[in-house]
Amino acid sequence: MTRFLVRKMPSLMFVLLASSVVAFALPRLAPGDVAVTLAGQDPTPAAVAAIRQQLGLNRSPVLQYFDWIVGVLHGNLGQSYVLHRSVASVIGDRIESTVELALAAALLVVVFGTTLGVLAGSTKRRWARATLDLVNSFFIAVPSFLIGLVLILVFGVLHRWLPVIGEVSVLDNPSFGIQYLILPAIALALAPAAVVARLLQTEMLSARNEDYVDLAVSKGASPSRITTRHVLRNSLGTAVVAVGLQIGHLLAGAVIIEAIFARNGLGQLAVSSVQTRDFTVLQVLILGVVFVAVLCQIFTEIGLASLDPRIRLGDQR
């Protein structure tokens, strides 16, 4: 494991470095000027120039990049132009919301996806399989924002059973916090769960044709034992990879879900930073997303190796 991680480091560093350049340059390509936003209504060129100088925006982009990246390496993420606070504190205020939503959705992805996949991969009844296929296809096809809107309509507007906007921290008030999480987490999780279910179903159906399953049947193993000990165990690798990949989709989908449910997470922070050209916040967010995505990939590989003894991390075959 240690050798695996050490061998991953150079590529990880390269990805982060390249991403930092993109994170810095990309927001600055958009038209608009944050100094104009900060200077108030119809500012004079002198006022705008003064603010640009105050923020260091009149320096060369290369110098600005190096100042920023050196700061990041020293733990200083910079200062938000628009919010007048450190980027670290701005992100710190919002990260709990996104983590709560992502974890809740990830849990639902695993639970729904595995349950649906196992059901679809286990049942021999044609009508049941067709129904589950239909359900899966539906949730894969329907966008998460549409599911979210329907949930809001049914559970918040027509029946007022659950809160539809805002949030309460689960750590501050678990009962209320979970209620605020239910609808957005479901909206976010259904599509990735359906993807996981479909992949798991396919793997399970394929595994059922393997010789070891025939051997287990001939030895008199019960269907449930065959399903759990042989078919599912050998199919989970694909599911783990799928879940790992879907985590990235969860983070992307969270932007839209946070907007629809008015959650104050990192997704909304990214959107508002784009709108106000708050470069310092945006570039840290982009870099952070890349870092999380790379970490997820590493953990997926580790998880896969633990499930499948044939896979050795970093071994040459």
Q: Which of residues 104-163 bind another protein (CB under 8 A)?
A: 115, 118-119, 122-124, 149, 152-153, 156-157, 160-163
Q: Name the token pair of 95.
A: 């990260």
| 291 binds another protein per the rule CB under 8 A | no
CA separation for the pair 304, 317 (Å, rounded): 17
Q: Which of 176, 241, 300, 303 binds another protein (CB under 8 A)?
A: 176
User: What's the min distance (Å) between Cβ of 311 and another protein?
Assistant: 29
By beta-carbon proximity to another protein, the closer residue of 3 and 225 is 225
For CA atoms 206, 209, 215, 219, give the dihedral sign.
positive
| 198 binds another protein per the rule CB under 8 A | no
Who's near 269: CB < 8 A, 6+ residues apart? 90, 91, 94, 281, 285
Q: Which of 15, 72, 140, 271 binds another protein (CB under 8 A)?
A: 271
| 31 binds another protein per the rule CB under 8 A | yes
Q: Which of 46, 62, 73, 171 binds another protein (CB under 8 A)?
A: 46
> Would you tell me how many other CB atoms lie within 10 Å of the CB of residue 17?
10
Q: Name the token pair of 42.
A: 């119809």
Q: Name the token pair of 46.
A: 């002198």
> Of 181, 308, 317, 179, which Cα lies nearest the Cα of 241?
308
Q: Name the token pair of 84.
A: 């007048």
Residues that bind another protein (CB under 8 A): 30-34, 36-48, 50-51, 83-85, 90, 93-94, 115, 118-119, 122-124, 149, 152-153, 156-157, 160-168, 175-176, 178-180, 182, 220, 222-224, 259-262, 264, 268-269, 271-272, 275-277
